[in-house]
Amino acid sequence: MNRHLVSEVDGLEPGTALDLGCADGADAIWLAAHGWEVTAVDVAAPALDRARDHAVRRGLADRIRWTRCDLAADFPSGAFDLVSAQFLHSPVALPGERERILRRSARAVAPGGHLLVVSHWRVPPWHPPMPDPGHPVNLTLQSPAENRAALRLADGDWEVVRDALVGVYLVGPDGRRGRREDHVLHVRRLEG
């Protein structure tokens, strides 16, 4: 599971959660194991099949609804106590697509609920630069300011819980350590 999810969500009162781009389901399974009722979505059917199998083995299948969804074309309905978008970067996203998904994510947060958007920002020195036009998987990294702007949060409707760059140390293919920076943006929709 994602370390940023754990550090931001541990201690919150469990409720309903939406996990966007759930991949193999580690975050959704962690949330379910900690009392959340989870809707987990991903575009890749094989990833959802693996995630479902992991949840069954952990005895959590009844707490997670797995849904195949292309977030660029569709979005789960409902309001959630937590919406989690962990590293929602895509090499095939059209310009503006990620921003539209993040805006829909904010609209899916119930009053009193939380939105957690975690994004890569800087990569270690041994990592190829991003975007890298010569690489087949090409990610463009949005700045913290671009992430905040993409959400279009109305003043007075949201409380910032955390808005920070967090360093994560990694070991590269040649054994060198390097620092990656992730942008952690955690906001809470105010009630009323």
What pLDDT, on the 0 to 100 scale, is given for residue 132?
A: 64
Q: Is the whole-model pTM more than 0.85?
A: yes
Three-point CA angle 29, 184, 82, nearest 5°:
45
Concatenated DSSP letters for 26-65? Answer: HHHHHHHHTT-EEEEEES-HHHHHHHHHHHHHTT-GGGEE
The domain ranges of the chain are 3-189
Q: Residue 139: which pLDDT band, with cuts at 50, 70 and 90?
A: low
Check residues 146 and 79 and name the one with the higher pLDDT.
Answer: 79
Res 91 pLDDT > 80:
no
Q: Which CATH number fits domain 3-189: 3.40.50.150, 3.40.1710.10, 3.40.190.80, 2.60.40.10?
A: 3.40.50.150
Radius of gyration, alpha carbons of the chain = 17
Check residues 43 and 98 and name the one with the higher pLDDT.
Answer: 43
Measured in whole angstroms, the distance separating CA 182 from the mean position of its chain's CA atoms is 12
Q: Residue 82: which pLDDT band, with cuts at 50, 70 and 90?
A: very high
| Among the listed residues 1, 30, 35, 29, the one whose alpha carbon sits nearest the alpha carbon of residue 15 | 35
What's phi and psi for 13, nearest 5 deg? -70, 120
